[in-house]
Structures are given as structure tokens and as C-alpha cells.
A and B are shown apart, each in its own frame.
Chain A
Amino acid sequence: MGGYCGKLLQVDLTAGVVENIPLREDLVENYLGGSGIGARLLYELLEGKISAMDPLEAGNPLIFMTGPFSGTTLPSTARMTVNALSPLTGIWGEANVGGQLSAQLKFAGWDGVVFLGSSAKPVYLHIDGEKARLLPAGELWGQDTYAVTDLLQRRHGGDNRKPAVAVIGPAGENGVLYASIAHNKGHHFGRTGMGTVMGSKKLKGLVVSGTGKVDIGNPEGYKEVRQRLLNKMKESLAVELFNLYGTNCGIDAGHLSGDVPIKNWQLGEWGEGINALNGPAFEAILADRATCYACPVACKRVVEIKEGPWQMPAGPGPEYETITSFGTMCMIPDAAAVAKINERCNQLGLDTISCGCTVAFAIDCFEKGLIKEEQTGGLELRWNKPELVLKLVEMIAAREGFGAVLALGSHRLAEKLGGETKKYAAVVKKLEVPMHDPRAYHGLGLAYATSIRGACHVSGVTMGVEQGNMLLEDLGLDGCHSGPSSTGKARLVALTQDFGMTFTTAALVCLLGGMVYNERDFVDCLSNVTGREWTLERVMRCGRRIWLLKRAINLLRGAGPTDDCLPEVIRTPLTEGGAAGSVPDMELMLKEFSALRGFDRDGYPSREEMTALGLADVYAALEKCRRGQ
């Protein structure tokens, strides 16, 4: 079966049983892979129990999925996804990662791993080709992700092979609601607390080695489209930029357009801070560049700090999202300090976006006098205090003192603090907003508001298209969109969500290198890898099916149209910078979006469309839920 191994590992952690189950044909045909298949599996596993399931109960399945391109040498396709109900948001949870894991899992002969139940004692899963077994992890519990990764790679690696490792750190073990899963130290399944779910199951990690190959449906066609993409990459300025400065390459241009959030979203311009945190600023500590499996972009940074207060050995450097979450959001104009904070978050297993944003929100509240030292355990929270932020990171992971409250994320922190604090919590559906400002790009605001997992800039391709970095001309998206305008953006968002659901979340193409793909490239990749007939129309239908299924899961979890909104702090105009005075017209865009999606007054999709997309059973469950049954 081109692009697939045709089987999944199902691991019952309660019983300690590991089984081989076939990957059903209907899943491949209708949901393609990644979180498309993940969503359908989760829905079926929880059928009838979705609404009431506590995400930290044993019954919440944890699903790791690859896509059809994983393990091939198509450029920028090394992503992998993990899905479950999220303990942070209470709705559909999804995080993804680059690195080597997805390729190794395919080489081992598996399309994914489904964890059910919960273990009584800490365990980890060792996959060595066809063999998979649960092993005790008692001595690993409590250790940080770097130490455990080194230990497991030594234990299960050989002279010429280094297994892919994905583990949680103390944050996941201790129930921090935004714990990540660290893969080979520097790659993180960051968002929506998937590491927390893993910790609740007493699952410390996965170790994966494989030596197989991925079948290609049409090798000749595959070779042609792969070469076409590689040629485009060689010509691409975006690829050159990502290689040069990593994901942080756009911070200067982003600052000019008003895209970079500063001071908990309330400052539009901070030239000296940007100069201290931009690509050239990080060159002083750059030790090397690294890449994901078979990716020519090589956007990953290796940094080393030999002198000063933030010394660290050579290791994974911070991404743009981390640099801004801690740098510009907490007003820390110091590349080395941010690199050190990133290292500790990596080791402790924390999502740097949620963590940095929650800390920035708390500092903002303190600076405004909305909270006092009595509530922070005597800590004086101020801007530009990297030592304090580092201390808070440790306290969060250990859930100690005020750290235990910060460990709940911005939404719950605002609930606990009360008063006016809620106005300054930048969350959508309880997930902290990532580091691109919708006041500079209004379509992104609608994408955040209607995104399935809460504010998200990667599940659709809205951002790349709206910023003009990705062209989807067959869909009428020619890259000439005005950022601070709401006109016509509902259509752009609906199209890019549908395309993106197939492209980035099911096929798991990376957003960065993925910028060089157009619709034809993607369709050609799908057809030639799988050996099945794909068209753009089928891509869009598949994306719409996945989007509606995930939306239905959220509706069943109680998150409806009233949750499709932007937080007040982001709906407040800035007085300076590239996006000064600009605010997305959410009312207009949501109205148009709802019409395009065919929602009824309550924000539910139509029976006709759900049925036509093969989701009649899901529609029936929604109707039942609406009737309160």
C-alpha cells in the first residue's frame, strides 16, 4: 500500500498488552493520515462518551500518527502528530513535531501508535521494527527529557543507529496542563498538553528504531515531483532565509508589519528589543544548524553559551515562537537568556508558547497592580527579569507555590485571579495565542477564532497565504492580500483551513518548506506516493471532512460558536507600530465564515453536508447532544 505500512500498534496500558491492528482502508481513503485518521479513531474509541470524558482519565486515548509522506524523501515532510482530548482546553487536542520520529516509526513498519488505558507504574514503549514491548520506567520517572533521551538512546541504540526518542519531563509527570512531549531533546509536541495526558497514563516515552522502507505507489512520478520540489526549494528565498536564521528569520519584517506580539500584546514597537533578539543577535551563540529527516531547509539551531550568566552546553536553540513568548512578550532583550530559558523548558517538558504567555500575562497583571505579592507567594513580577522567569519555569514544572497556579495556563489563572485580569489573558478556547498578531493580519484573527484546537497558526495555511509566502493560485489565492483588512478574509480562511487540514495535519507537510508547494505539487505528491487518484477537489473535500469532524468533537465537548472569538487584549488597537489602529472586524468575518460553512443559527453544520462527507453518524451524535440526550 503506497505511503502506508497498513498497520497500527495498539497499546493497552492498563492490561500491559501490545497488539497489531490493521489500518482500515476507509480511514486511509477518507481521512488520509495524521490527525485526520487520529480524529476519526478518537471519535470511534470514545463514541457515546466524548462529552463526559475527563481528559486525564484513563479512557482518553492518546494517538500518535504519521502521514503517507512520512519516511519518504519528499522535502519538508518529517512531521508527526499526537492527538487526544486536551486537559488544557477540554476540547480536541493536537500537537505536532518534526525530527526523526515519524520516519523511524514508518521504517519500523507502523503508521501510528494508539495508547489506551493507564499503567499502574511508569513504563515506556520500545519499538524495534516489528517488535514492540512495554518496559518499566521507574528509574526514569522524575528525570528530565535530556537525561532520559541520552539514557534511552544509549540503552537501545547501537554503533550505527540512534533510535528516535519521545519522552515527557517532570512537567508532564506533575500534571502541568501544558506539558509537552520532547523528541530527541529539541523537537517538541508542544501544544494542548499532550505531555500531560501521557503523564496521566504513567507513560514516560517511546523509543523507536526501524530499518524498513516506505512503499511508493508510482516511483517514476514520485521522482519527478520530488525533483521539482527540490528545484523550487533551491530557488526559494524563504528557504534560504529559514536556513540562515531559522524560524526567527522573519522577526525584523514581522516587527515592521506589527506581526510580533510585545509586552503581552500591548506594545506595537520595540526596536531595541527586536535588535537584541533577531537572527543576527543569535549568531553570537550559534554553534551549528540541524535538520529534520530528509529536509533540505535545515531551520533548526544549535546554540552554545560559554560565558556569562546563561552558560549552557551545545544544544537545541529556541524557535521564533519561544524567542517571542519569552523575549518580546516578557520584555527580555537578551538572546542568551532566552536560549537558557528555552533549554530549561525543553528539559522540563513545557510548551514554550503557553508557558511564556502565561508568565507574561502574570507579569502584566502584577505590573498593572491587578495582583499583589500576597498572591504570588512574595514574588515581585516585573518585565525584563530573566532570572525571575527562569525561577518561575522551575516552579511551574514542579507545581510549587505560585508555579502551581501558573501551571494551569492563562485562562484558569485569570479565573483564579479574578477582577480585571481576564481582559489581559490572550487565549482562544483556553489555548494561549501563538506569536503572530491578528491586528496585522485580520484573516489570521478569524483563523485563530475558528481554529479547532484553540488559537493555532499551523493547522491551516492561512498565515502563509495571507502573508503572501505561499501561493495557492488554483484556489484563487494569489498572495496579494492586504494584511490589516477584513474584506474577503472569510473565504480565504475557509479555503486555507480545508486545504491545510489535508496538507499540514493529515499529510503532515511542514509549514516552512511547505511554502514552496502549490496545489498541483501536493496533488502530485499524494497521487504518486499513494498510487491512488487524488485531485484538488478531493483534497478540499478531505480537508472539509476532517475539519467538520474535529469541529463536531468540540461541539460534543461543549465548545460552540460563542467560543469562536478573539480575546479582548487582541481586539484592542495598538497606538504604535505597523498595525497601529488596526483591529480585525470579527463580526463581519464570522458572519461571512458561518455562511460559507453552511452553519445553522446555533453554529452547527448541516445534515446534508455531513452526510455527503460520510459523517452521518457524527451528525446523529450531534443531534442527540443538542436534544440533551
Chain B
Amino acid sequence: MTYAYGTAEWEKAYLEMVEKRLATVARPYILGSPEWVATYEKMIQESQEYKEAAKGWEGTVVIHIMANPALGLPEDSYLLLDLWHGECRSVRLVPREVGVKADYILSGELERWEAVTSGALNVTKAMMQGKIKLKGSLAKIVRYVKASTLLTEIATHIETRHLSQLSDEEREQYRKELNELKAEFGF
């Protein structure tokens, strides 16, 4: 790994990588890609409704997308949302060892997250049905049900390409990119 997570170098290099990709990768972005994650971060930060609903919230949230090599996701992905009193301080792709330590982890298969982000599956229903698992204090999540709902609702407003929609060639290319990112950033 070129950069160690948590250092200023990692953060600087991550932001430069995202900026470069945002300038070069064509929209719509692939779910869970660095450019998709950056768009998601911006949209949460711009949501006044989220700021209002999440007043008082403390704790990191991870969206855990389980690996699906056949669809082009060779390893699990962890999207870390650093949330604090209504502010979204950052959303980053992070290494596994960081992701599993988050205060709240929402875990699901790639197809489930594709359904959630396309609006076909309501995340609350998905959790009740066991299609997405929650790790963390349920009592606290329940107190912020509107903020939690908004976090996933915002994701449905991102113009998204799903891995299941890619051609074999595109999937192979994306897989290669992910391998390079892992070598550099550890995720």
C-alpha cells in the first residue's frame, strides 16, 4: 500500500485521485466508485433537510457492499460516512480494517444496494426483511429514523450505473482500476 489510512498523505492523495477521476470518468458513475462516493458526500453536505434531521447525531456509519466477483466487485467495499451533529464531514472509501470498526454498519449484497440506490428497495423494509443487516445500537438509529431514511434517499438521487449493467469489457476495466486503488489506498 502506497499510503496508510489516517495519515495526511492518504487523505491528500485520496482527494487528488477523486478530483482526477471526477474530471475524467464519464457519468453516470458506478455505484461505490470513488467518484460516486464523492458525489454522495456533496449531496449529503448540501441537504438542509438532513442537517435538520440529524441534529445531535454522533457516530460513523459504514455502508458495507459485499463482494460479487462475477459482477466485477472482487472484494467487499466499505463507504465510511463521518457524521457529526447534522454535518457530513466526509464520505470515503476505506480499508476493511477501518470499515469494520465503524459505530454503525449496514451490510448487504451488491444486488441489494443496487436495488436500494435505484429506489426499488426501501432500506427500512430491507433491514426489516433481513436483506440488509444493521450492526450498532438500534435504539439510537430509531431516534434518528428520519436522518437514516434521508441518507439512503439521497443516494437514490445520484445518477448511478450499476455493475450489473456493465459490459464484460467495462467490468474488466473497472476491476483493474479497483486493484490499482487497493494497491494505493488499501480499499
Contact = CB atoms under 8 A, between A and B. Distances in A.
Interface of A: 235-238, 240-241, 244-245, 249, 252-253, 256, 278-280, 467-469, 471, 479-480, 515
How large, as a class, is the contact surface on chain B? 10 to 19
Contacts of A469: 125, 128-129
Nearest to A481: B125
A471 B129 contact: yes
B143 A280 contact: yes
B31 to A, nearest CB: 19
A236 B130 contact: yes
Given A237-B130, A237-B133, A249-B142, 15 more contacts: A237-B127, A237-B138, A244-B138, A244-B139, A253-B149, A256-B146, A278-B142, A279-B142, A468-B125, A468-B129, A469-B125, A469-B128, A469-B129, A480-B120, A515-B128
B128 A468 contact: yes
Contacts of A279: 139, 142
B129 A235 contact: no
Contacts of A253: 124, 145, 149
Closest 3 CB pairs of A and B: A468-B125, A252-B145, A469-B128
Contacts, number: 48
B122 interface: yes
B130 to A, nearest CB: 6
Contacts of A471: 129
A467 B120 CA distance: 14
Contacts of B127: 237
B149 to A, nearest CB: 6
Contacts of A515: 128
Interface in B122-158: 122, 124-125, 127-130, 133-134, 138-139, 142-143, 145-146, 149
Contacts of B138: 237, 240-241, 244
A91 B121 CA distance: 40
A253 B138 CA distance: 13
Which label, helix, strand, loop or mixed, suits the secondary structure of the B interface? helix
Contacts of A240: 138
Contact of A256 (B125, B128, B145): B145
A245 B129 CA distance: 18
A278 B139 CA distance: 12
19 contacts: A237-B130, A237-B138, A240-B138, A244-B142, A249-B142, A252-B145, A252-B146, A256-B145, A256-B146, A278-B142, A280-B139, A280-B142, A467-B125, A468-B122, A468-B125, A468-B129, A479-B125, A480-B120, A480-B121
Contacts of B146: 252, 256
Contacts of B133: 237
Nearest to B134: A237
Nearest to B120: A480
A245 B142 contact: yes
A252 B128 CA distance: 15
A329 to B, nearest CB: 21
Contacts of B139: 244, 279-280
Contacts of B124: 253
- Most-contacted residue by chain A among B129, B139, B145, B146 (CB, 10 A): B129
Contacts of A238: 128
Count chain B CB atoms within 10 A of each CB in A238, A249, A468 and give the residue with the most.
A468
Q: Which of B125, B134, B146 has the most CB of A within 10 A?
A: B125
Interface in B32-87: none
Contacts of A467: 125
Nearest to A469: B128
Nearest to B150: A256
B115 to A, nearest CB: 8
Most buried by B among A244, A253, A469: A253
Contacts of A252: 142-143, 145-146
Contacts of B142: 241, 244-245, 249, 252, 278-280
Nearest to B127: A237
A469 B131 CA distance: 11
Nearest to B143: A280
A315 B63 CA distance: 41
B137 to A, nearest CB: 10
A190 to B, nearest CB: 25
A253 B124 CA distance: 9
A238 B127 CA distance: 8
Contacts of A241: 138, 142
Nearest to A245: B142
A292 B128 CA distance: 22
A238 to B, nearest CB: 5
A256 B149 contact: yes
A356 B176 CA distance: 63
